Structure 1
Amino acid sequence: MATLTASFDACADAFEAGFADVTLTDPVEGGPMPVIVAYPTRSAAGTTGLGPFTISARRNAAPAPGSYPLIVFSHGTAGTNLGHHDSLTALARAGFVAAAVEHPRDNSRDDSGFATDLTMIGRPHHIVALIDGLLANPTMGPLIDKNRIGMVGHSAGGYTALLIAGAVPSFARASEYRAVVEKNPALQSALQRADAAGSQRRRPDLEYISDPRILALVLWAPGFGYAFDKDALSKVHVPILLYRPSMDTLVPHPWGAERIAEFLPTRPEYHVLEGAGHFVFFAPCPWMLSLTARQVCADPPGINRAKIHERLNAELITFFRQALPPS
């Protein structure tokens, strides 16, 4: 694939963005699985308020007739399907359907499945169910070109995306990784929780799955990089756009993006965001959230998250247009 060259002019909005809530069924445990979907509309521009967030899309606007690529999003550990809402709506205005799932037991309201098989194996099952559910949805299904599907994953969502593309993780190097990062205060509680949770097998029948319908990946600060080596990534052959924030303290270099880039069968398009932290990919925070979620919302000095998102969203659009061309 050619080197990415995002053009803000080429990514000029072709549509406005509509917004819909969809509730699917968790394929792992059977409970509700909330999804948000942004899609192209010819209706007037509008916004939708959801908790502390203001989504730049009109709720339940009439979809613009057509057949559009689908981009699915997987958030990080204890994240939310609203965390990348600006990227979803940017894609919708550019002529994509973009959808984000709230991963059961690994979200901001309930992370009780952290580091267990319910999430480490279950997350890709959520993504497969997301695609199946949207294709079967009477409103969204007719809008989606089922032959043009891509995925964006942040942190644990990047791990999820690699599994979807055929990776089979191995945790044999977990002890080596631990020895490197055990003095990192930012990771201490996570390591302790992972120790406690990792020994639990709640669904012994649950197996790793992939989905060949997903033809391109964008990975933002992918997590659990120590679980991937050349063998683990040998079946991953889709185009990949990969980002590493240079000031990431939660996915320490070179155990994340750098390791994945080294072992992928084909070198990905790889960018380092100088001076940025792990949560730079999270949408710019409203002031209320900035007060209560400082770790997620605060950036290192000199980082303008809104400006970075202008670049990231333009590059998303360019990449997926190149990787998912009309047939």
Structure 2
Amino acid sequence: MVNRLPTLKNLLLVLFLGVSFLTHAQPATDAFLPGDLLPDAPELAPRGPHAVGVRTLKLIHTAQVDVLHTKEGKSPLYDRPLTVEVWYPAKIPAGKPQLVTYEDALGRANDPKRPLVPFTFGGRALREAEPDGSQGAYPLVIVSHGYPGSRLLLTYLTENLASKGYVVVAIGHTESTYQDLAGFQSTLLNRSLDDLFVLNEIARLGAKTAKSFLSGLVDTDNTALVGYSMGGYGALNVMGAGYSAQAVKFFGQLAGGSTALQTRTLSDPGYKTSIGPRIKATVAFAPWGMERGVWDAEGLAGLTGPTLFVAGSKDDVSGYEKGIKAIYDGAVNADRYLLTYVNARHNVAPNPPPAATLKPGQPLDDYQHFSEPAWNERRINNINQHFVTAFLGIHLKKLDYAKYLNLPETSTTEPWAGFKPRTSVGLEMRHAKP
């Protein structure tokens, strides 16, 4: 009998060749990047027909209240810098890979226990690509991160939306990013103000007479806001949810007696005039503030635009029953949805944890700033891509996507519309009309 069992030497050779093939035959461009699809991704999660370009803009919001330097209740003014990232439908030259390297940081500014650690990660867009204006102007989506956070925190979603025919602008909120983290009172005041300023700046840069790559490319009269945590706090205020008297008092305690937040309450004459018709819809991921009395019944009643809330049922930052769900219940004049990830905590919006968080010795807090203990983060990303596509498609593009949102509260024997069999488990969807 011939012995056909492989020798140890041959086994090692096969193993070596297999590892060699995996490491050398798989180029870096084949990496699984934020936003790429898992096999069970729902129907609207895939990218759209457009190639994607990306650029960075530096903006200056002049003469803003500097609440970090308030003395005796009086605040000086300063020119507030804002860095924004813009994704847009683009023309990609033949043979040019649609890839980009983003630069971000872990840690916290001014915290010796959490030193800043720069890191990079990949994306599927081309830096400085030529805009594709062949289909006219595209709706605008403004994205606002948490505290602290980054304009690059949701690239899985920003790239995805740009590929579907949106201009997407993510704000790096000054004094609220990892690199420049400062007092919380700046975030409380400036979130909604930053959103409105960026909307106006993009309108200016998008004018047909403007000398900007955005000229004629963006329709700011057809805008949506997407906010996560403190970004959701600001987005809801821009949409009409005025802050409460208790919020103003809390702010004054932090800001040395300053009453600057009063301008974002229903009682301020200028507040309602700031709520214009340009913003058609809002997506609020885990919006913060209800458990701290930021809103009351009167303020929430001011929210009248279509709103999609996204939450984890175990959110221990914004709260769920007395937090996000209470905001949803109180927004009685809005056509609103609440998508709930059962047993998820607060991180239902960001990219998956970057590789830099996995290095030995890296603080656990950096990993937990991105991770969800009960869910696969990439799975959450795909589900968010699906539902945000449906919601914005309805309100900004007038697409017939209602079946993807008008769902039973839970899926029992049959999956939700757009989901593969057995894959809508662990999700809840509520819907309420005015």
TM superposition score normalised by structure 2? 0.64
Give the drift of 1:306.
0.6
1:179 is matched with: none
2:232 is matched with: 158
The 3 A distance-change label for structure 1 pair 68 and 169 is: same
2:383 is matched with: 311
Is residue 251 from structure 1 mapped to residue 318 from structure 2 by the alignment?
yes
1:30 is matched with: 79
Deviates more, 1:70-79 or 1:258-267: 258-267
* Cα distance in 2 between the residues matched to 1:171 and 1:296: 31
Give the drift of 1:173.
8.1
* Cα distance in 2 between the residues matched to 1:36 and 1:262: 33
Does structure 2 conserve the Cα–Cα contact (< 8 Å) formed by 1:74 and 1:153?
Answer: yes
Question: Which of residues 105, 109, 112 is equivalent to 2:175?
Answer: 105
2:51 is matched with: 16
* Cα distance in 1 between the residues matched to 2:252 and 2:334: 36
Does structure 2 conserve the Cα–Cα contact (< 8 Å) formed by 1:20 and 1:37?
Answer: yes
Is residue 214 from structure 1 mapped to residue 279 from structure 2 by the alignment?
yes
Gaps of 5+ in 1: 1-5, 176-193
Is residue 40 from structure 1 mapped to residue 89 from structure 2 by the alignment?
yes
The 3 A distance-change label for structure 1 pair 195 and 72 is: closer
The CA deviation string for residues 44-70 of structure 1, in whole angstroms up to 9 with x for no partner, is 552221222322211011111121010
Aligned ranges for residues 58-69 of structure 1 at < 5 Å?
58-65=126-133, 66-69=136-139
Give the drift of 1:9.
5.2
For residue 90 of structure 1, give the secondary structure of its aligned residue in structure 2: helix
Give the drift of 1:205.
8.9
Does structure 2 conserve the Cα–Cα contact (< 8 Å) formed by 1:261 and 1:267?
Answer: no
* Cα distance in 2 between the residues matched to 1:286 and 1:205: 35
Size of the aligned set, in residue pairs, is 301
* Cα distance in 2 between the residues matched to 1:72 and 1:136: 15
Aligned ranges for residues 64-75 of structure 1 at < 5 Å?
64-65=132-133, 66-75=136-145
* Cα distance in 1 between the residues matched to 2:221 and 2:388: 18
Identity over aligned pairs, percent: 24
The CA deviation string for residues 21-43 of structure 1, in whole angstroms up to 9 with x for no partner, is 00101342313210001111131
Give the drift of 1:320.
0.6
The 3 A distance-change label for structure 1 pair 53 and 262 is: same
Does structure 2 conserve the Cα–Cα contact (< 8 Å) formed by 1:151 and 1:214?
Answer: yes
Larger Rg: 2
* Cα distance in 2 between the residues matched to 1:282 and 1:142: 30
The 3 A distance-change label for structure 1 pair 173 and 160 is: closer
TM superposition score normalised by structure 1? 0.84
The 3 A distance-change label for structure 1 pair 202 and 289 is: farther
Is residue 298 from structure 1 mapped to residue 371 from structure 2 by the alignment?
yes
Does structure 2 conserve the Cα–Cα contact (< 8 Å) formed by 1:11 and 1:317?
Answer: no
1:121 is matched with: 189
For residue 284 of structure 2, give the secondary structure of its aligned residue in structure 1: strand
Question: Which of residues 102, 124, 136 is equivalent to 1:50?
Answer: 102
Gaps of 5+ in 2: 1-40, 65-77, 104-119, 206-211, 265-270, 400-434
Q: Which has the higher contact order (CA 8 A, sep 6+)?
A: 1
Deviates more, 1:217-226 or 1:289-298: 289-298
* Cα distance in 2 between the residues matched to 1:285 and 1:241: 24
